[in-house]
Amino acid sequence: MPTHFKARAAQSPATISGSAERESLPVTNEFRETVMAGYNWLARFLNISEINPLSQQYTEQELANALGLAAGTTYYPSSAGMAMGGYKDLGLDIMLATTGAGDSITVTIQATNDTTNPPAAGSWVDVTLAGYDLGTGAASVASYVASGAAGALNKIVDWDNLNCRRFRFVVVVVKAVNNSTLSLWTRQKAL
């Protein structure tokens, strides 16, 4: 083991090519401070950070972007729902529009901890009221609705600590003769 160090102002180039062994010396910076693995030569500090921090773990996706919906009940992303996995929070950007006097769109969210896949029909619980409307700063309503000839709704709703295994959105469309529009964008995050 060498008893002397090599002082450098920047990281040295790699000295090993292939599997050939080369003699190497410990390194200090220009202030005679020992340089360890993780040293940031540009900022002059020992860089200690998470490789995959929880604060950067999130998923964003469009679940629905539909025009001219048929009457009936539809589940998004499916009747089996979507897993929360390692995420703890769920956000939803919801846009609804109706254009006919007898049209309506109603959206609610259900969750389950049932471990079967798909979950049993009776295991789903309506958790819409557990949300938080970011636009008004108020608790969620029981359902999100647009109805009538000029029905429109645009909300961002947040379910913090949605400690459930799976979730799904239930969309009920009542349609007279005209068009209806549904858009659902979700964001799941770990922190």
Q: Picking from 107-111, 114-118, 130-134, 184-188, which range would have the lowest pLDDT averaged per residue? A: 114-118
CA distances from 34 to 13, 40, 129 (A): 18, 12, 57
The residue that leads in pLDDT, 146 or 121, is: 146
Question: Who wins on pLDDT, 153 or 17?
Answer: 153
Res 44 pLDDT > 80:
no
Residue range(s) of every CATH 2.60.120.20 domain in the chain: 58-189
The second-level CATH assignment, the architecture, of 58-189 is: Sandwich (2.60)
Give the SS3 label for residue 130.
helix
At residue 55, what are phi and psi to the nearest 5 degrees? Answer: -65, -15
Q: Name the helix (H) or strand (E) containing 90.
A: strand 89-98
- Taking the CB of residue 188, how many other CB atoms lie within 10 A of it? 22
Radius of gyration of the chain, Cα coordinates, nearest whole angstrom: 27
Q: Report the percent of the chain where pLDDT is more than 90.
A: 48
Q: How many CA atoms lie within 13 A of 71 on its CB side?
A: 9
List, in order, residues 6 or more apart from 9 with CB less than 8 Å away.
29, 30
Worst-scoring range by mean pLDDT, 41-50, 83-92, 122-131?
Answer: 41-50
Count Cα atoms within 13 angstroms, Cβ side, for 29: 14
What phi and psi, each to the nearest 5 degrees, are found at residue 138? -115, 165
Residue-wise pLDDT for 138-187, tens only, equals: 999 999 999 998 999 999 999 999 999 999 999 999 986 667 889 999 99
pLDDT at position 81: 93
Please give the Cα distance from 84 to 109 (Å, whole number): 13
Q: Give residue 21's pLDDT band: very low, low, confident or very high (50, 70, 90).
A: low
